[in-house]
Amino acid sequence: MKFLLCLLVAITAYADDINVAAASDLNFALKEIIQQFEHETGNKVRLTLGSSGNFYAQIANGAPFDVFLSADVNYPKQLEKEGLAVPGSTFVYGLGAISLWAPKTSALNIDRLGINALVDPSVKKIAIANPEHAPYGRAAVAAMQNAKIYDRVKNKLVLGENVSQAAQFVQSGAADIGIIALSISASEPMMRTGNYWPIPPNLYPPIQQGAVLMKRGGPGAKTFHEWLRGPESIKVFAKFGFGNGVTR
């Protein structure tokens, strides 16, 4: 009994609270990864979801995050250059993808219309993430430009603070259709209430998503950063559509 008590105290002493900032497209995938991580290690993760650009600015101004998962690998790389992140700790955990998403109550046949659904006369509002600080918003704009429809729909755009908020605009009826992350549109909750159409990847630049370990991160943060590169996490990322990841 005394030995078990000492062991429990030792495990508790080494348990860590880890502050993680993550792009909102990771909502479903990362929560599953964190559940596995906490169960296996005893560490606790405090997750904050938002836009990558906003997180970059917050971290650069001293926000106390230990690990940052961005929808654009360039933000973590920039934090390394600025001396705020551990040198060489940035890695690509996956490639993001975008899709159209419309509620099941919509009369739009997005499987038939594809991206041309955006120019349908019934569409008055189109939700995307704000391209000024959200990589998925920039991808959405690029897709519309390359499809030669941007000028026809730009006045219909409703900008969410991040890609999750863009999805919420469509769910709530504030927009008729949205361009959101495939990892969100293909999740079980969204599939129950809507339909999605993957936008061809040749219409937008690759969305390389990167993770980085901040210098302030303790042993638990280092363990979590490594966990993100492990086989369990790779399976979850792939499950939610983030392929070709975990490379330097």
**Which tens digit of pLDDT belongs to each residue from 28-40?**
999 999 999 999 9
The token duo for 246 is: 């975990």
pLDDT (0 to 100) of residue 246: 55
Q: SS3 of 234, please?
A: helix
Where are the domains positioned within the chain? 2-95+206-239, 98-198
State residue 11's pLDDT score. 42
Residue type for 13, please? A
Residue 46 clears pLDDT 70, i.e. is over it: yes
CA–CA distance from 57 to each of 18, 79, 213 (Å)? 20, 10, 16
**In sequence order, which residues have a C-beta less than 8 Å from that of residue 190 and are 6 or more positions away?**
101, 167, 184, 196
Q: What is the pLDDT of residues 85-134, one digit of tens each?
A: 999 999 999 999 999 999 999 999 999 999 999 999 999 999 999 999 89
pLDDT digits (tens, 9 = 90+) for 161-212: 999 999 999 999 999 999 999 999 988 889 899 999 999 999 999 999 999 9
Q: What DSSP designation does 85 have?
A: B
Whole-prediction pTM? 0.84
CA neighbours closer than 13 Å in the CB half-sphere of residue 165: 13
pLDDT in tens, 121-166: 999 999 999 999 899 999 999 999 999 999 999 999 999 999 999 9
CB 239 within 8 A of CB 139: no
Q: Tell me if 2-95+206-239 shares its fold with 98-198.
A: yes
Q: Which CATH class is domain 98-198?
A: alpha beta
pLDDT at 13: 43
Q: Which CATH architecture has domain 2-95+206-239?
A: 3-Layer(aba) Sandwich (3.40)
CA angle 114, 163, 223 (to 5 degrees): 125
